[in-house]
C-alpha cells in the first residue's frame, strides 16, 4: 500500500490533559490516527478530561479510502479491544477515574463493542452501529451522531440498533446532522468534513461526557 503515512509515537497512545482527571479514550476511524484528531483531543483536555488516543494501525494512517478499507479489513479486533484496555489502564492515574469512549466510524463500532464489557461509564459513537450478532447489553449511556446520508449493511441499520438499545434499557441520545455524509467530523478529510456539523457534534459530545463522567 503506497498511501500509508507514518504517524508520531507509533504503537502507543497519545495523551492530553492532566492525570487524575476523568478519562476519555478517542478511537480513530478507518483512516487511522490522522492529525485532525489532535485538536479534538486537546479541546476535550481543555474541558478537564485526561484524553488518550490509541494507535490501532501500528504506526500508520492514510487519507486514501481504498487503503483505509484494506487497513480496516486487516485489523485484528481482539488486539484492538486489548489496546483500548491498555489505553484505559495507562490513562487512569488512580485506577478509579470514570471512563468515556468516543469513536468515529470504525472507532465508534469498537467503542460500542467494548462498552458491553462494563468498563466504560459513557460511550459516544459517530456514524457507527452494531449488528445483532455483535450487540449485547451496553450498561452505560450512549450518544450517537448520525450523518444524514450514509451507507449501512442491512443488519446494521441505525433505527434497528437504537431500538435494541432501548429494549435493553440503555439510555440513548441520538442526533442527525442535515446535509452531512459519513466522515463529516474528520477534519483531515477536506472532501468529507462539515465544520459546522462537526463543531455542534463536538459540543454535544463534551456536554454529554461532562454529565456522565464529572461529579
Residue-wise pLDDT tens digits, 155-213: 889 999 999 999 999 999 999 999 999 999 999 999 999 999 999 999 999 999 999 99
Instruction: Give the chain's largest Cα–Cα span.
Output: 47
Q: What's the mean per-residue pLDDT of the chain?
A: 96
pLDDT at 31 (0 to 100): 97
Query: Reduced to 3 states, what is the DSSP secondary structure of residue 77?
Result: helix
Q: How far is CA 15 from CA 24, 124, 128, 183, in A?
A: 10, 19, 24, 23
pTM score: 0.97
Report whether pLDDT(1) > 60: no
CB 96 within 8 A of CB 66: no
Average pLDDT over residues 73-84: 96
Residue-wise pLDDT tens digits, 3-38: 899 999 999 999 999 999 999 999 999 999 999 999
User: What is the pLDDT confidence band of residue 215, given thresholds at 50, 70 and 90?
Assistant: confident
- Calculate the CA 40 to chain-centre distance: 11
What is the bridge-based pairing of β-strands 50-53 and 5-6?
unpaired
Query: Can you read off the three cell numbers belonging to residue 87?
Result: 489505553
Q: What is the percent of the chain with per-residue pLDDT over 90, rounded to a whole number?
A: 96
pLDDT at 155 (0 to 100): 87
User: What is the pLDDT confidence band of residue 2, given thresholds at 50, 70 and 90?
Assistant: low
Instruction: Please report the domains of the chain, with CATH numbers, ordered by start residue.
Output: 5-213 (3.40.50.1820)
What is the bridge-based pairing of β-strands 122-126 and 142-149?
parallel
Average pLDDT over residues 92-112: 96
Who contacts 197 (Cβ-Cβ below 8 Å, separation ≥6)? 177, 179, 180, 184, 185
Amino acid at each position: 500500500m503506497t498511501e500509508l503515512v507514518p504517524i508520531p509515537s507509533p504503537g502507543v497512545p497519545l495523551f492530553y490533559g492532566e492525570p487524575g482527571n476523568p478519562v476519555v479514550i478517542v478511537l480513530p476511524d478507518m483512516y487511522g490516527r490522522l492529525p485532525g484528531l489532535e485538536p479534538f483531543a486537546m479541546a476535550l483536555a481543555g474541558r478537564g478530561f485526561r484524553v488518550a488516543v490509541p494507535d490501532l494501525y501500528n504506526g500508520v494512517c492514510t487519507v486514501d479510502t481504498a487503503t483505509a478499507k484494506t487497513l480496516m479489513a486487516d485489523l485484528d479486533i481482539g488486539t484492538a479491544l486489548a489496546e483500548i484496555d491498555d489505553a484505559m489502564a495507562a490513562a487512569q492515574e488512580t485506577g478509579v477515574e470514570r471512563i468515556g469512549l468516543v469513536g468515529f466510524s470504525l472507532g465508534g463500532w469498537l467503542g460500542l463493542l467494548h462498552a458491553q464489557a462494563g468498563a466504560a461509564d459513557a460511550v459516544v459513537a459517530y456514524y457507527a452501529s452494531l449488528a445483532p450478532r455483535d450487540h449485547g447489553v451496553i450498561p452505560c449511556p450512549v450518544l450517537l451522531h448520525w450523518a444524514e446520508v450514509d451507507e449501512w449493511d442491512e443488519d446494521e441499520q441505525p433505527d434497528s440498533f437504537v431500538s435494541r438499545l432501548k429494549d435493553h434499557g440503555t439510555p440513548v441520545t441520538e442526533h442527525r446532522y442535515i446535509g452531512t455524509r459519513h466522515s463529516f467530523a474528520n477534519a483531515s478529510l477536506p472532501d468529507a468534513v462539515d465544520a459546522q456539523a462537526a463543531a455542534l457534534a463536538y459540543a454535544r459530545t463534551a456536554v454529554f461526557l461532562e454529565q456522565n463522567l464529572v461529579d
